[in-house]
Amino acid sequence: MPEPFRVRPLRPQPVHGVTIGIMILDTGFYRFPGDIGYAPTFPFPVQYAVVRGATPDRIVKPKADGMLDLFKQAADNLIVLGVDGLTTSCGFLACLHQELAAYCSVPIVTSSLLQIPLVQSILPKGQRVGVLTADKDALTADHFRSVGVETGLPVVGMPPNGIFRYNNRTGQPVIDYAEQEREVLGMAEELLTQNDNIGAIVCECTNLPPYSAKIEQTFGVPVYDIITLVTWFHAGLRPRHYGR
């Protein structure tokens, strides 16, 4: 009997049992449960590769700052190690999605912004997606267009001089969770107050998922982030067995 056709060919690899590879930024700040950089966030094993030189201040403009080659190298290292799918730890990598998808030999989800068209399609008529981001000024139309998303969506960013950006920018090893939570809830309240037709929120920043549940609980609006995306992504790479 002939062997079944496989789109993903079997290959020698040093690591087995890890489906998702995460290209993590070169940071030092503390990551809470729910953050993409906190490994137990996921109910399945993940493999990290630190992209040296991809710091928070450089990553907001990856095309202008030569980040593509660094992420290509990190992707190669993870694929050789044995992962079957890739993601990143910054939503601003959306603007490199097309280049990385064309380069990588395994599927890749670069940014939580990829969820926006799907989320928009399930909302009631008259409602739209709102976006929370780390840096509103840096999130451009190019980021949205690169992942097939309409431009002009309502966007609210972290306060430029707020505690969240300070902690990330300076690599704080000890962070006050409640203080950051208050800032995030303030962002969500601003988004919803300024736009009365928001039916769902998509968080660009991969450090926001620890607060997604509190946003939904407080304001009663669905929240999608990098963790919801990677969980969906993994479900297709490793479909569940149902015991038959």
**pLDDT tens figures, 82-96:** 999 999 999 999 999
The conformational region for residue 220 under phi > 0 = left, psi -120 to 50 = alpha, else beta, is: left
pLDDT at site 3: 67
As a CATH number, domain 20-111+229-237 is 3.40.50.1860
**Whole-prediction pTM value?**
0.94
Amino acid identity of residue 155, one-letter, is: V
The percentage of residues in the chain with a pLDDT greater than 90, rounded to a whole number, is 86
- Residue 152's CB: how many other CB atoms inside 10 A? 8
Which residue has better confidence, 16 or 33? 33
Pick one of 3.20.190.10, 3.40.630.40, 1.10.300.10, 3.40.50.1860 as the CATH number of 112-224: 3.40.50.1860
CATH 3.40.50.1860 in the chain is located at 20-111+229-237, 112-224
Q: In which residue are the tokens 């030569």 written? A: 66
